[in-house]
Structure 1
Amino acid sequence: MEPFTVEAIAATVTALISGAAGEAGKSTWTGLKTFVTTRWGRDSAPAAALTAAEETPNDPAATRALAGLLHDAADREPEAAAWLSRWLDQAGTVANASGAAHNTIAGTANVRTAIQGYQFNGDINLS
């Protein structure tokens, strides 16, 4: 299973709740809502964070709070980690289909120069 970061979760959630991913994004978001409420209950901290993020889609703090709770839960619960990893793979595909970019440099990467983006046209010269 590929490790994931709070930032990756937050970026994916942001793309879905902003509406950028269209109907497929709504369906993917509903999948996360169902998982959260089934696993931890409607009155749980993750469910409350999910509602807050959904109600304030332009608030990065709300999105990051949700992402942090999901990441923490995945650290504690291997089954939640496996589900979230599969969901992120699917959700990332849906979110990126809209033209959004999601790039992550993580772990022990030793990066001097990084150019991240979705679609480049023409040359890139770093001299």
Structure 2
Amino acid sequence: MRYLISIVVLTMSFTLHATELAPGQVWKYKTRQGEEASTLTILKVESYKDLGRVVHIRVDAIRMTNPLKGNVVTDVPHLPFKEGAVKRSITELLRKSPEIPAFQEGYDTWKNAYLTGKAGVFDTTVSATLTAMLGAKWETKK
């Protein structure tokens, strides 16, 4: 019986990580405590010679306080990740949506910064990245 359970768990794990990430997928992921209802949406997947496969995501149903304005942030419309970091984060595919949430402004800002060597992608899990954002030095837009 223990052997059978091990095979099922390994098969499920392999299937999850062999899943091709694609725009419109909405996933449950390993969330921060208190944000168990949070989801991530795949916005775009692309490949770069220096970064490998980059997965652009949106995160919904979080709770972070903006240290500059004091308002509560409940979503992040664009975050770029290495594919492996997203795959280490996701736990269950909830649905595939034909409509992709708007993200072009955030993507364009990231892309321009990346092309000038001023931005990269996250290689940590989604929850670790969100936690790190809380402790980051935030600056006002000039």
Please report the TM-score for the alignment, with normalisation by the length of structure 1: 0.25
Query: Higher strand proportion, which one?
Result: 2
Please report the TM-score for the alignment, with normalisation by the length of structure 2: 0.23
Specify which structure has the bigger relative contact order, considering alpha-carbon pairs within 8 angstroms and separated by 6 or more residues: 1
